[in-house]
């Protein structure tokens, strides 16, 4: 069974709120911090772990327990100075993974230099981030162009002993299988009657939308 991860969310604007609801709907444990009492009260319908904080210094962050989370997401991109300070403090207190919403390339470059990951502020990006955090079945996604992306994943139980024609990822997700690695051998010419084996590594290309749809489907197979 996959370990349930925990996430700290700092800031309940549109992005932070969307992210909190998405992660909560996936069963993740979340800790939410914001300086606005009204926003904290409203988020308590999905988590009891919501705290009003007026400062993001190291002492205050340690008191919230956010250092025990697997990842912390800073959702206050409009306040660049506060965001940068929060990232520094989160990294210094030992949060394994720090992610921050940014509003400019310069802001993002500073945060990346500090060791944080960055995302840009769109509501649908919050949903994609939630899926990326929780859907660990998809090993990697590489962007080849605006329309073409590449991924690889280990065949789920639902695929074992079925043929490529049976699973029909092109019809279901709009994706194409370009290769399969089986027992250390890479098969480049995939025929419709190829029967998928346990631990086969499947290589796919297609749209990001299709890959995210696949990712969500794979996530459901694990539950």
Q: What is the pTM of this model?
A: 0.58
- 150, with CB counted inside 10 A (0-12, 13-18, 19+), is middle
Q: What is the CATH number of domain 140-222?
A: 3.30.70.1450
Q: Please report the DSSP string for the chain in residue order.
A: -PPPPEEEEE--SHHHHHHHHHHHHTT-EEEEEES-HHHHHHHTTT-S-EEE-S--SHHHHHHHTGGGSSEEEE--TTSHHHHHHHHHHHHHTT-S-EEEE-SSHHHHHHHHHHT-EEE---HHHHHHHHHHHH-TTS-EEEE-SSS-EEEEEEPPGGGTT-BHHHH-HHHHHS-EEEEEEETTEEE-S--TTPBP-TTPEEEEEE-HHHHHHHHHHHHHHH-
Q: Is residue 9 within 8 Å of 76, Cβ to Cβ?
A: no
d(CA 69, CA 190): 42
Terminal Cα-to-Cα distance of the chain (whole angstroms): 8
Radius of gyration of the chain (CA): 20
pLDDT at 123: 45
Residue 53: count other Cβ atoms within 10 Å of its Cβ.
16
CA–CA–CA angle 159, 164, 167 (5° rounding) = 50
Mean pLDDT by 10 residues, the chain (223 residues): 79 90 88 95 93 95 96 87 93 94 85 87 57 53 66 87 93 90 86 92 86 80 64
pLDDT at 133: 63
- Fold designation for 6-134: Rossmann fold (3.40.50)
Residue reference for tokens 């919050």? 126
Where in the chain is CATH 3.30.70.1450?
Answer: 140-222
């Amino acid at each position: 069974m996959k370990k349930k991860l925990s996430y700290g969310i700092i800031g309940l604007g549109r992005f932070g709120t969307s992210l909190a609801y998405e992660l909560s709907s996936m069963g993740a444990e979340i800790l939410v911090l914001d300086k606005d009492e009204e926003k904290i009260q409203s988020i308590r319908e999905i988590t009891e772990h919501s705290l009003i904080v007026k400062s993001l210094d190291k002492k205050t962050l340690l008191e919230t327990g956010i250092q025990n989370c697997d990842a912390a997401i800073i959702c206050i991109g409009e306040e660049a100075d506060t965001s940068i300070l929060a990232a520094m403090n989160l990294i210094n207190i030992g949060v394994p993974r720090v992610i921050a919403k940014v509003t400019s390339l310069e802001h993002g470059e500073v945060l990346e230099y500090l060791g944080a990951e960055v995302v840009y502020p769109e509501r649908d990006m919050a949903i994609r981030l939630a899926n990326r955090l929780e859907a660990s079945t998809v090993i990697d996604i590489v962007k080849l162009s605006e329309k073409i992306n590449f991924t690889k994943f280990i065949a789920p139980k639902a695929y074992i002993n079925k043929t490529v024609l049976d699973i029909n990822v092109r019809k279901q997700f709009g994706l194409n299988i370009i290769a399969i690695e089986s027992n250390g051998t890479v098969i480049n010419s995939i025929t419709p009657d190829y029967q998928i084996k346990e631990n086969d590594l499947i290589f796919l290309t297609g749209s990001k939308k299709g890959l995210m749809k696949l990712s969500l489907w794979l996530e459901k197979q694990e539950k």
